A = this chain, B = another copy of it.
Amino acid sequence: MTAAWAGICSSSPPCVGVSLQKPRYSYGNILARKAFTVNIPSADYVAEADYFGMVSGKDTDKFAATGLTPVKGTVVDAPYVQQFPVVLECRLLKTLEIGVHTQFVGEIMDVKVDDAVIGPDGKPDMARVRPFVYDSARQEYYGIGQVLGKAFSVGRDLKR
């Protein structure tokens, strides 16, 4: 499924929160397996990511429809998307009821990064991963732009 509301929510243990509504097919799957994966598509897969948010796994095989490949997780009991450059394997740690959404907090047990998107510094390179963000007001997807500055550095001149 495509999840609009997700993000890192702790550094140690590393955790990611994903908010789902109860009618989603993934909702029951996550509770049953106590596990899920978070798959970050590159900009090449914006159509697939959009499609994943338009149909339900209840009545459609989304992998077959898109030609993407499900791979069994190596650490948790949930599949991930082979073609997506960054994958988090998570075990369900907590759930929190927030309005119409349930937030699933997953402990990140493994991070898989495609070798092809690793930069010369050994870290994921934004320009190769090419993730994208969602503007829920205009319902549009945006790419990531240029580097604006180094953290803990560009603000140093403001320090007395």
Contacts and interface: CB of A to CB of B under 8 A. Distances in A.
Interface of A: 4-15, 17, 19, 43, 46-55, 60, 65-66, 93-94, 96, 98-101, 103, 105, 121, 123-124, 126, 132-160
Given A49-B155, A52-B155, A142-B148, A98 B103 contact: no
Q: Which 8 residue pairs across A and B have the least CB separation, nearest first? A: A50-B155, A51-B155, A7-B7, A143-B145, A145-B145, A10-B99, A51-B158, A10-B101
Contact of A15 (B14, B52, B98, B154): B98
A157 to B, nearest CB: 7
A46 to B, nearest CB: 5
